[in-house]
Amino acid sequence: MDPRPIGVFDSGFGGLTAVRQLRRIMPSETIIYFGDTARVPYGNRSRDTLLRYARQDVAFLRSFDPKAIVIACGTVSSNCLEELQAENKVPILGVVEPTVRRAIAATRSGRVGLAATRASVSSGAYERLFHRLAPAVEVVSRACPLFVPLVEEGRCRPGDVVIETVAEEYLGPLRGEIDTLVLGCTHYPLLREVIGRVMGPEVELVDAGAEAARAVRDLLEERDALSGGEDQGQARYYTSDQTEQFLRLAPLFLGEDVTGRAEQIDITRY
């Protein structure tokens, strides 16, 4: 048993959907979340810049002596995971590999869809990993650039003509073509219902946040490092920009309030 916290970071708010899943399946764990809201989005950064940012994010979380760190950012998971793992003793998990493994296990037709940001799609990182782990699986990618701003404006519910029109445009063409759809951005689980209606009930939606949470639980179980407590674990939230927007959006992603538990820090000092 290990009472130390689990650290989670993302470029912004999206990683909170992973925190939500962590708190759902391991309610007694303590969570430290860092959202790099001053430097979001990471998607367009050069590899050098990205690695510098990710090292600072890890260094900040390490100041809490965590027993594991989750990279809830697809871009960092795809581009910097190996370096970060090599440089740190604490186990570090990315969000991409558990998601890809789950989709490979789920598909029967061998045709998988990927919905992600424009940066994730053009990086080709998901496709490369699918190709390495299951060369026979065919991946059809769709960039969904308006999903993040629409979710951040709370437009994620069925019946909203704006999100429904955009979701149909982006994903309607995949209907009947695939049997599994990867929600390859941590914002997208909030669109599960809207996307589910577009794709139909036969298509399984694979949620990156939920898969990352499961991967952490498996790792901690294997190492006998679960907290073992019975009380509800605490969660603390840190951002690199003012907390105002964070306090407004976090409840949407987490399904719980964060008032009094969010604080701004200067990430450039780490």
Tell me how long the chain is. 270
Residues 6+ apart with CB under 8 A from 254: 16, 19, 20, 23
Start-to-end CA span in the chain (Å): 29
Angle, vertex CA 113, rays to CA 12 and CA 203, nearest 5? 105
Query: What DSSP line would sit under 51-89, residue for residue?
Result: HHHHHHHHHHHHTT--SEEEE--HHHHHHHHHHHHHH-S
Rounded to a whole number of angstroms, the CA Rg of the chain reads: 18
Say whether residue 123 binds a copy of itself (CB under 8 A): no
Pick the binder of a copy of itself from 71, 80, 121, 150 (CB under 8 A). 150
Contact in structure between 191 and 147 (CB atoms under 8 Å):
yes
Of 2-31, binders to a copy of itself (CB under 8 A) are none
Range 221-224, long-range pairs (CB < 8 A, 24+ positions):
223/2, 224/1, 224/2
Pick the binder of a copy of itself from 24, 44, 65, 132 (CB under 8 A). 44
Say whether residue 149 binds a copy of itself (CB under 8 A): yes
CA 106 to chain centre: 19
Pick the binder of a copy of itself from 68, 71, 114, 166 (CB under 8 A). 166
Total residues at the site for a copy of itself (CB under 8 A)?
A: 19
- Cα(59)–Cα(137) distance, rounded to whole angstroms? 37
- In the block, residue with structure tokens 């999206």: 14
Reply yes or no on whether 73 is catalytic.
yes
Of 28-36, 96-104, 155-163, 194-202, the window that binds a copy of itself (rule: CB under 8 A) is 155-163
Of 13-21, 50-58, 63-71, 160-168, the window that binds a copy of itself (rule: CB under 8 A) is 160-168
Say whether residue 162 binds a copy of itself (CB under 8 A): yes
Say whether residue 45 binds a copy of itself (CB under 8 A): yes
Provide the minimum distance between the beta carbon of 58 and a copy of itself in the complex, in angstroms, as a whole number: 21
Pick the binder of a copy of itself from 2, 138, 179, 241 (CB under 8 A). 241
Q: Which of 73, 80, 144, 156 is catalytic?
A: 73
Of 247-266, binders to a copy of itself (CB under 8 A) are none
Cβ-based nearer residue to a copy of itself, 165 or 232: 165
Active-site amino acid positions: 73, 185
Residues in contact with a copy of itself by the rule CB under 8 A: 37-38, 44-46, 49, 145-146, 149-150, 153, 155, 161-162, 165-166, 241-242, 245
